[in-house]
Amino acid sequence: MNSAKTPVLDTCLSVSYHNGKQVLSDVRLSIGHGEILGLVGESGSGKSTLALALFNLLDRSRARVTGQIQLNGRDLLNLPEKQMRRVRGSEIALVLQSAGTALNPVLRVGAHLKEAWLAHSNDASKWKQAAASLLERVCLPCDEEFFRRYPSQISVGQAQRLLIAMALLHRPSLLVADEPTSALDAITHAEILALIRELNRDLGLSVLLISHDLLSAASLCSRLAILREGQIVESGAPHRIFAAPEHPYTQRLIAALPPHPLAATLTPEVPIAA
């Protein structure tokens, strides 16, 4: 079942809302063990809907999900809610864009970690032990003073690291990171991307990085998939996509990238051909 050849995630997914709007059409993704796949698309292209669909967390009274979601060879789409709950957090985990909105402002840091631990364990006494090594890995303090703090009393970067630590507490095989750096400043942004790379390398974690930032995704991922209006229009290795984008939308995406601020001074002025 979990052989190295079986992809961690293999999807062929369509999502439509009951008002008839098609949000995702036949989205095929495959992520191997220890691979980081970047899903890049503009706002409204269906990126977050895809993330929710993977967790069976789309409101089924409003959205219709068809196709298949194979996680380590098991189809999640038709899994009863009771079994799906056991999969969430233990086999597939989610990190959201803004830790500020994802963390409950009235629960302390310690309570957040404890709750995440109790989701798949009955032994409440072991949460600190389980969290210790992970907190160290994500460069967060592991002491009572930190556990007593509220989310508003830690920095944005620490809060994002806490989200990642909570998501990885039960060592899932796949991490879905939905715009994990969009709400961060440049330095914290780089730190979080470096952390995801480290976790991928050290723990063998597979990652689906969902982002609208083509450059960040390209810097981190071994493969990119470009999503537009609910369809994958192009996929491949980052260097191939940057060197020879095939789809007009990908070409526009690359053309829209801001030039390097020093580009004008570094490159000699060349008269533009008429």
Partner 1 sequence: MTKLTRRLAAAWLLVALLVVVGAGQLAPHSYDRIFSESPDAQPSKDHLLGTDAVSRDRFSRLIHGTRISLGFAPLGAFLATLVAGCIGALSGLSKPWVDRTLMFSCELFISLPWMFLLISARSLMPLNTTPVASVAITFLLLGLLGWAGPARIVRARTREWLNSDQYLFARSLGISRRRAFLIHLPPVLKPVLLAQFWIAIPVFILGEANLSLVGLGVSDPLPSWGALLRDMNRPEALLETPWIITPLLVLVATLIAVQTVLRTTRSQT
Q: Which of 89, 180, 230, 245 binds partner 1 (CB under 8 A)?
A: 89
Task: Establish if 58 lies at the interface with partner 1 (CB under 8 A).
Answer: no
If you compute the radius of gyration of the chain from its CA atoms, what whole number of angstroms results? Answer: 20
Residue 98 engages partner 1 in binding (rule: CB under 8 A): yes
By rule CB under 8 A, what count of residues binds partner 1? 31
Q: What is the DSSP letter of 151?
A: G
Pairing outcome for strands 63-71 and 74-75: antiparallel
Name the one range near partner 1 by CB under 8 A: 38-46, 100-108, 217-225, 231-239. 100-108
Question: Of 75 and 115, which CB lies nearer to partner 1 in the complex structure?
Answer: 115
Work out whether 101 is an interface residue with partner 1 (CB under 8 A): yes
Q: What contacts 122, CB < 8 A, 6 or more positions away? A: none
Which residue of 106, 266, 272, 273 would you call a contact of partner 1, by CB under 8 A? 106
Query: Given the complex with partner 1, which of 16 and 90 has the nearer CB atom?
Result: 90
Torsion of CA 221, 223, 228, 233, to 10 degrees: 170
Strands laid side by side in the 74-75 sheet: 22-31, 9-17, 63-71, 74-75
Q: Taking the complex as a whole, how short is the minimal distance between the CB of residue 145 and partner 1, in angstroms?
A: 21
10 Å CB burial of residue 110 (0-12, 13-18, 19+) is: middle
What is the spatial distance between Cα 226 and Cα 163, in angstroms, rounded to a whole number?
26
x/- letters, 180..209, toward partner 1 (CB under 8 A): ------------------------------
Q: From residue 8 to residue 27, what is the string marking binding to partner 1 with x (rule CB under 8 A)?
A: --------------------
Instruction: Say if residues 108 and 152 touch (Cβ distance below 8 Å).
Output: no
Q: Which residues bind partner 1 (CB under 8 A)?
A: 52, 55, 57, 61, 85-90, 93-94, 96-98, 101-104, 106-107, 115-116, 118-120, 163, 166-167, 169-170
